[in-house]
Amino acid sequence: MPTIMVEGPKIDVEKKRQLVKKLTEAAVEVYGIEHIIVIIRENPPENVGISGELLADRKRNEDKTSG
Amino acid sequence: MPTIMVEGPKIDVEKKRQLVKKLTEAAVEVYGIEHIIVIIRENPPENVGISGELLADRKRNEDKTSG
Amino acid sequence: MPTIMVEGPKIDVEKKRQLVKKLTEAAVEVYGIEHIIVIIRENPPENVGISGELLADRKRNEDKTSG
Amino acid sequence: MPTIMVEGPKIDVEKKRQLVKKLTEAAVEVYGIEHIIVIIRENPPENVGISGELLADRKRNEDKTSG
Amino acid sequence: MPTIMVEGPKIDVEKKRQLVKKLTEAAVEVYGIEHIIVIIRENPPENVGISGELLADRKRNEDKTSG
Amino acid sequence: MPTIMVEGPKIDVEKKRQLVKKLTEAAVEVYGIEHIIVIIRENPPENVGISGELLADRKRNEDKTSG
């Protein structure tokens, strides 16, 4: 009864539907077990840090640079 | 200092109170350690997939069938 | 930079290779982000409980029944 | 399909059996859902820190004090 | 590509910025890897249990005692 | 009672000691709470995928390239 947890950004319900379908297919193929649980977590960009910087700040800086 | 994380559906505060009390009693009995931390996570049905289908879609389909 | 954690049974390295490849493809398609991290956890059957019973005990009971 | 993850010290299989049974009973009572998954993780004392100190060092220091 | 997950109370964005910066510095020093991901989770006090009691109830009781 | 989980490669006990000390100091500063729990998880390179490839394969390929 494998369980898959996904930490990602906010996505709409249609993307969640696709994500669950595709991840489950992948897991069923590899494990040979039909019963797969997927939990999707949507993290706001101010709650994620990459290389020491908040994702929220990073985006703001990139916008400035490209603006 | 065992830590218990629970992934489940949304529940009211009285159920959370019971859940924390009961899970802690179970853990204290087995580990013999008083200091137990419980973290309850409430996942919306559109963020959980079971056997490749969103829990949100599953409920809708069951409602149709039984309706 | 989505991160996927998979809780499953023990699998060999070729299956891990497939699992990482397939889960990553699924996540790239949905998130449109190339950089995906996957962490595979292999849980021994005596560390997993389903409906109140250890997976290790369940397997033993099934073996008896079918034997 | 609630999932419970327990982070604790190493325990024997009989304790795991009890832990899964009791945690599941608690969750079934509160959620009203029969199908509960429990994953037990056993962390060695050198992989756990409490208040800035490894659990492994803490135990050694307590042994010295009481010795 | 180490990943750090922090389970704590609600904090403001400036504290998140500090937390990500400091945790990343610590991890870079120890692992010698620049690329560190941090995920901050903010748990409401009614979703956390300590020694069998909700953090939300605990605070209320402390307020009464000190009031 | 914040809890920090670190997913990283295998490290020796002296590095674990440093990691727990530094991460705890960072968390105490930001949260103003002394009691911090750290759990270190050491993932073998064949259980981690980056951009669709096992870390174990990646290392092997890099060794070939630089050899």
> What tens digit of pLDDT does each residue of E6-51 get?
999 999 999 999 999 999 999 999 999 999 999 999 999 999 999 9
What's the CATH architecture for C3-66?
2-Layer Sandwich (3.30)
DSSP assignment string, A41-55:
EE--GGGEEETTEEH
DSSP class of F32? -
Q: If you count residue pairs, one on B and one on F, with CB atoms under 8 Å apart, how many are there? A: 8
Q: Which of C45, D38, C21 lies closest to A25, judged by CA? A: C21
CB contact at 8 A, C27 and C36: yes
In what side-by-side order are the strands of the sheet with A37-42?
B53-54, B48-50, A37-42, A3-8, C3-8, C37-42, F48-50, F53-54
Residue of C nearest to E4 (CA): C3
Q: Check residue B65 and give its pLDDT.
A: 66
Provide the CA A53 distance to its chain's centre, in angstroms. Answer: 19
The answer to whether F51 and C18 have CB atoms below 8 angstroms apart is no
pLDDT above 70 covers a percentage of chain A that reads 96
Q: Is F37 within 8 Å of chain B by CB?
A: yes
Contact F49, C38 (CB under 8 A): yes
Q: Higher pLDDT residue, D2 or B61?
A: D2
C-alpha C29: how far from chain center: 21
Residue that is written with structure tokens 């008896």 in the block: C64
Is A8 close to C2, i.e. CB distance below 8 A? yes
Q: Which two tokens stand for residue D18?
A: 């009890």
Q: What is the mean pLDDT of chain F?
A: 94
Read off φ and ψ for residue D19, nearest 5 degrees: -60, -45
If one counts every other C-beta atom within 10 angstroms of the C-beta of residue C56, the result is: 17
Nearest chain A Cα distance for residue E59, angstroms: 25
Task: Return d(Cα D17, Cα C54) in angstroms, integer.
Answer: 6
Q: Is F48 on the interface with C (CB under 8 A)?
A: yes
For residues F38-62, average pLDDT: 94
pLDDT given at position E62: 79
Say whether pLDDT at A67 is over 60: no
Give me the residue from F15, F27, F29 closest to E30, CB to CB: F15
pLDDT at A8 over 60: yes
Interchain CB distance below 8 Å, C47 and D16: yes
Distance in Å, alpha carbon of A52 to nearest chain C alpha carbon:
14
> Among B41, B45, B6, B10, which residue's Cα sits nearest to residue B22?
B6
Q: What is the DSSP letter of F51?
A: T
D67 pLDDT more than 80 = no
B18 has a pLDDT exceeding 60: yes
Single-letter residue type at F52: G
CA geometry: angle A11, C9, E38, nearest 5 deg:
40
pLDDT at E1: 80
User: Measured between alpha carbons, how far is F10 from F41 in angstroms, rounded to an integer?
Assistant: 8
Residues F9-28 have a mean pLDDT of 98
In tens, the pLDDT along A35-63 reads 999 999 999 999 999 999 999 999 788 77
User: Subunits touching D (CB < 8 Å, at least 3 pairs)?
Assistant: A, B, C, F
Q: What would the pLDDT profile of C3-62 be if each residue is shown by its tens digit? A: 999 999 999 999 999 999 999 999 999 999 999 999 999 999 999 999 999 999 997 887
Return the pLDDT at D41. Answer: 98
With beta carbons under 8 A apart, name residues in chain A contacting B7. Answer: 39
Cβ–Cβ gap C43/D39 under 8 Å: yes
Alpha-carbon separation of residue A6 from C5, C26, C50, D33, E33 (angstroms)? 6, 12, 22, 23, 23
Residues 6+ apart with CB under 8 A from B26: D19, D22, D23, D25, D26
What are the chain E neighbours of B42 within 8 Å (beta carbons)? 47
Residue D65 has pLDDT above 80, yes or no: no
pLDDT-above-90 percentage for chain B: 85
pLDDT band at B64 (very low <50, low <70, confident <90, very high): confident
- Identify the pLDDT of residue B62: 78
Q: Which band of pLDDT confidence, cut at 50, 70 and 90, is reported for residue B44?
A: very high
Cα Rg of chain A, angstroms:
16
Quote the pLDDT of residue A65. 66
Query: Tell me, what's the pLDDT at B27?
Result: 98
Percent of chain F with pLDDT over 90: 85
Residue B53 has pLDDT above 80, yes or no: yes
Q: Is the pLDDT of residue F17 over 90?
A: yes
CB contact under 8 A, A20 and B53: yes
User: Does the beta-carbon distance from F46 to C21 stay under 8 Å?
Assistant: no
Q: Do the Cβ atoms of B38 and B23 come closer than 8 Å?
A: yes
Pick from E3, E5, E6 the residue to mutate for testing the F interface (most F CBs within 10 Å): E6
